[in-house]
Amino acid sequence: MHEDGGRRYFGTDGIRGRLGQPPITPEFVLQLGWAAGRVLTGGQRGAVLIGKDTRISGYLLESALEAGLSAAGADIYLLGPMPSPAIAYLTRSLRACAGIVISASHNPYLDNGIKFFHADGSKLPDEVEREIEQQLSIPCQVVSAERLGKATRVDDAPRRYIEFCKQLFNGGPRLDGLHVLVDCANGATYHIAPRLFAELGANVAAMGANPDGFNINLDCGAVMPQALCTQVRESGAALGIAFDGDGDRVIMSDDKGAVVDGDELLYIIASARRAHLNGGVVGTVVSNLGLEQALSELDLRLHRTAVGDRHVSEYMNNHGLCLGGETSGHIIDLDYTNTGDGIVTALQVLSIIVSSGYSLAELKARMHKLPQCTQSVPLQQTLSTEQSSQIRQVEREVSTELGQDGRVLIRPSGTEPVLRILVEGVDARQVRTLTAQLAARISQLLHA
């Protein structure tokens, strides 16, 4: 549960939590469907799409949402397992009032969540989320029988999205004979990504493409790309592509088995498109300092926002910038889509590789990352004013020790009950040591 700008339930990426614990319960989700149906359709007859990832709990929450939406008089289009960005696209193309994604993204299967897309495929504005929360306090009032919403299954949703991705690139880059490994994290891209890349001519080997409801993000995908990197190196593949559970993030592997993260992917895309970027690219407070330095050499400024794709997207829209992203691999290019899309990002990078003749390793070598270390400390409750002050003091002490060539960032996660610690500097050993020391000190402060 979150307390953010007057929102009790909505966090940085919808509503998320452990299944069976408030707010991710059937009773709450039914009420949420009803409240959202009233707000998003404006009380008129309208359609709302529902898609999901591959978690076992998706069946349960889908049924609860469907019942709530129907009770509010909204028609429902059921997409089944689909990537989040595909649901955003289909919301636009099917002219629905809204789209709903049942997913906890990169979290394990025990968690789940609900996030919404506006009719244009963008994330809901804060004021709309607040309006939905206000409706949650009103007892569910079922419309009359003749006004109940109907449910329809959209069987061709995967094909619609595949063709959309191809059309963005004039039919798609020619990948004839390119040996590609694709890790779908046993998530929502499992039946789409391997098929798409194969149709573009690649020799595709799929990993993490056998979801069973429990193995989503389990030792695979964008959150855990090590298995993919090992397989790329051992198989002699040209590169590897790893998505997260709901398909809005992508991390890649070069032919040597080295991870290519979101900062590096953002740099590769920016370097190929710098004439169209209005002088800037949007990152976050955790974007590597090496990205900022490399972009500066291209006469591009890195604008930093708070962590979260909604913050990146809002900044881009407010400042007339079209490219932005996060270290996690959540890349947004408004010239292609208005939300992060792992498959579209991968296609952009593949197009650059094909057109330039350079390998992924050669393209990423032009950016030099600074050593960076992250660690999470469990957070049992909201920080007190005293704890926040103590943590800021510790942060300042370590920043002083690192000097001008390093930085420290300590922040609460927007998706999990943890404090995120990031340390960046020139000396990798010092960075690792300081991160461990910081985590220990903060843990002591939280339990004092």
Q: How far apart are CA 78 and CA 73, in angstroms?
A: 16
Half-sphere exposure of 443 (CA within 13 A, CB side): 10
Torsion, Cα 14 20 23 27, to 10 degrees, reads 110
Would you say 262 and 205 are in contact if contact means Cβ atoms under 8 Å apart?
no
Distance set, CA 9 to CA 24, 32, 97, 155 (Å) = 10, 10, 22, 32
**Closest to 408 in 3D by CA, of 390, 426, 421:** 421
DSSP run (H or E) holding 126 = helix 126-136
Residue in 105, 271, 287, 351 annotated catalytic = 105
- Strands, E assignment, 87-168: 98-102, 111-117, 151-153
Q: Helices 26-40 and 126-136 meet at what angle, rounded to 10? A: 120
Q: How far apart are CA 255 and CA 172, in angstroms?
A: 22
Whose tokens are 């890790």? That residue is 183
Amino acid code (one letter) for 242 = A
Is 105 a residue of the active site? yes
Would you say 72 and 41 are in contact if contact means Cβ atoms under 8 Å apart?
yes
Q: Helices 84-93 and 342-356 meet at what angle, rounded to 10? A: 100
Q: How far apart are CA 400 and CA 427, in angstroms?
A: 15
Structure tokens at 251: 């991390």
Helix, coil or strand: residue 158: helix
Q: Is the dihedral of CA 85, 359, 225, 232 positive or negative?
A: positive
**Closest to 436 in 3D by CA, of 418, 419, 417, 423:** 423
- The residues, any chain, with a CB within 8 Å of residue 108's CB and separated by 6 or more, are 216, 217, 218
DSSP 287: S
Distance set, CA 359 to CA 264, 301, 311, 355, 370 (Å) = 14, 26, 32, 11, 22
Starting from the edge strand earliest in sequence, which strands make up the sheet with 407-412, in order?
Answer: 372-378, 418-424, 407-412
Catalytic residues: 105
